[in-house]
């Protein structure tokens, strides 16, 4: 596998459609989709929404709205993985965005709890296209020596969308109400994301007349690596499942910690509500930098498995040590710096998928990996909540999530001897 990791510098100075058109379209699509996902956390805290839907005093039902979306999202990842390879990434992406915009509008127009649940399930199924379709575009459009940076570009769209999503949703609700928020987000999908995907992308460079022959040759020189493998052969490779395990563990940490981090900062570290929001925003900003830095390093040096293992291990140490340092500022700083490694390694995991599958089967390979990881981690917020309720502290949570990250580091490191 060592040949898979070898890279060579690409010529510079030529117009690159892949970076000026395809990359921005994927970035905007993932950012808008992440704002859609984050918005529900703001909506379920809105008193008018709770009264309208008869959810006052029913926190379990409110939580089920989030669970329903996550479960449907995991199923959608699997389904779209196959549809992308059959329809082509461009057509599949446009269809999915139109459908998810309809689901958002339905949510805003819902008159019953059943309709609202149906709209959230539909949104999860349709937004499940994002990770596999972005991987499919990258596999078809970007040379091997640019894969890490290309992956970081769209992956950071999700990070930035998460960072601004709460503020966007809050502003819309304050200005016009929760129904209007859903409708505005639906319109954003139709008037921003759909045109960008339709006009800026094509399934591959050969089908895009705007691509110069020089750029086409650049891409062809490396895009075929690794050699074509049927998806069945990929699924029989135990190393692919080590990568699935690593990303599943990453998602258990991510959903478990992100759901409860504000509570940790406010109740365990005694931050104010506003200060906790500032710390979260700072963490998102540093994570964007970390994702880009690891992507650039892996494109230049290779050895993605070792880089990923190092990032997960750094996150485990940062979470555990930072969580037990008494000094408030020092402890939180150590924790945030360590957790930047987790987000960088999560993005790196998406790049590692490209070591297993060629462009034509990438939708399936990425869809299955992300589907398994999301479905298996859907229980994480409830598990962390139960641990907090049982012990009334975050001590057990810090131990558990640190061990989860160490297990992710080990699973990723086991790929390194094969040259990944």
Q: Is the peptide bond before 226 cis (omega within 30 degrees of 0)?
A: yes
| Mean pLDDT, residues 136-150 taken together | 89
Q: Could you give the percent of the chain with pLDDT greater than 70?
A: 93
- The residue ranking higher by pLDDT, 296 or 389, is 296
Per-residue model confidence (pLDDT) at position 228: 64
Name the strand (E) or helix (H) holding 153: helix 147-176
Query: 3-state DSSP call for residue 348?
Result: helix
| Mean pLDDT, residues 179-195 taken together | 95
Per-residue model confidence (pLDDT) at position 294: 92
Handedness of CA 76, 81, 87, 93 (dihedral sign): positive
- Cβ neighbors of 159 (< 8 A, separation 6 or more) are 34, 284, 287, 288, 291, 343
- pLDDT at position 5 over 70: no
pLDDT band at 227 (very low <50, low <70, confident <90, very high): low
| Calpha distance 92→345 (Å, rounded) | 28
Each residue's pLDDT tens digit, 268-281: 888 776 677 777 77
- pLDDT at position 342 over 90: yes
Per-residue model confidence (pLDDT) at position 388: 78
| Mean pLDDT, residues 31-42 taken together | 85
- pLDDT at position 362 over 80: yes
Cα-Cα-Cα-Cα torsion 246, 249, 250, 251, nearest 10 degrees, comes to 130
| Mean pLDDT, residues 280-299 taken together | 86
- The residue ranking higher by pLDDT, 4 or 409, is 409
Cα-Cα-Cα-Cα torsion 19, 25, 31, 33, nearest 10 degrees, comes to -150
- Nearest Cα residue to 110 out of 97, 122, 98: 122
- pLDDT at position 123 over 80: yes
pLDDT band at 6 (very low <50, low <70, confident <90, very high): very low
Give Cα 381 distance to the centre of its chain: 17
Residue 8, CA distances (Å) to 115, 221, 301, 302 in order: 53, 10, 10, 10
Q: Could you give the percent of the chain with pLDDT greater than 90?
A: 40
Per-residue model confidence (pLDDT) at position 225: 59
Per-residue model confidence (pLDDT) at position 326: 85
Per-residue model confidence (pLDDT) at position 7: 42
- pLDDT at position 222 over 70: no
Domains and CATH numbers, the chain: 15-225 (1.20.1250.20), 230-420 (1.20.1250.20)
Q: Which of 228-242, 270-284, 294-308, 336-350 has the lowest mean pLDDT?
A: 270-284
- pLDDT at position 333 over 60: yes
Highest mean pLDDT among 2-16, 17-31, 279-293: 17-31
Query: Nearest 5°: CA angle at 307, between 82 and 357?
Result: 25
- Which pTM value belongs to this model? 0.82
Cα-Cα-Cα-Cα torsion 129, 377, 322, 63, nearest 10 degrees, comes to 90
Neighbours of 241 (CB within 10 A): 16
Each residue's pLDDT tens digit, 10-28: 444 455 889 999 999 999 9
């Amino acid at each position: 596998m060592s040949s898979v990791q070898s890279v060579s510098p690409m010529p510079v100075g030529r117009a690159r459609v892949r970076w000026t058109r395809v990359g921005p379209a994927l970035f905007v699509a993932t950012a808008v989709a992440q704002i859609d996902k984050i918005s529900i956390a703001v909506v379920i805290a809105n008193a008018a929404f709770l009264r309208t839907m008869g959810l006052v005093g029913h926190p379990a039902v409110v939580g089920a709205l989030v669970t329903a979306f996550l479960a449907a999202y995991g199923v959608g990842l699997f389904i779209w993985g196959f549809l992308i390879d059959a329809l082509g990434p461009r057509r599949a992406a446009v269809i999915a965005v139109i459908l998810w915009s309809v689901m958002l509008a339905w949510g805003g127009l819902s008159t019953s709890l059943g309709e609202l649940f149906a709209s959230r399930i539909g949104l999860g199924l349709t937004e499940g296209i994002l990770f596999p379709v972005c991987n499919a575009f990258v596999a078809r459009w970007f040379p091997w020596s640019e894969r890490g940076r290309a992956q970081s570009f769209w992956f950071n769209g999700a990070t930035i969308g998460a960072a601004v999503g709460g503020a966007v949703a809050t502003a819309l609700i304050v200005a016009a109400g929760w129904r209007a928020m859903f409708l505005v987000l639906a319109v954003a999908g139709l008037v921003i994301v759909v045109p960008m995907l339709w006009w800026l992308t094509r399934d591959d460079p050969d089908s895009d007349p705007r691509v110069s022959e020089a750029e086409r040759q650049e891409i062809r020189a490396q895009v075929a690596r690794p050699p074509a493998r049927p998806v069945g052969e990929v699924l029989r490779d135990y190393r692919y499942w080590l990568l699935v395990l690593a990303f599943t563990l990453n998602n258990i940490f991510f959903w478990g910690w992100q759901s409860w981090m504000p509570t940790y900062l406010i109740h365990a570290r005694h931050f104010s509500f506003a200060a906790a929001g500032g710390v979260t925003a700072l963490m998102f900003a540093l994570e964007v930098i970390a994702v880009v830095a690891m992507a650039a390093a892996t494109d230049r040096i290779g050895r993605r498995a070792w880089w990923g293992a190092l990032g997960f291990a750094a996150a485990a140490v940062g979470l555990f040590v930072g969580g037990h340092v008494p000094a408030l500022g020092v402890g939180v700083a150590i924790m945030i710096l360590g957790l930047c490694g987790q987000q960088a390694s999560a993005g790196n995991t998406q790049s590692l998928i490209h070591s297993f599958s060629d462009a034509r089967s990438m939708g399936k390979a990425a869809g299955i990996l992300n589907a398994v990881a999301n479905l298996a981690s859907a229980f994480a917020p409830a598990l962390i909540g139960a641990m907090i309720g049982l012990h009334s502290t975050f001590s057990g949570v810090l131990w558990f999530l640190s061990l989860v990250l160490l297990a992710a580091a080990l699973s990723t490191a086991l790929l390194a001897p094969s040259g990944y």
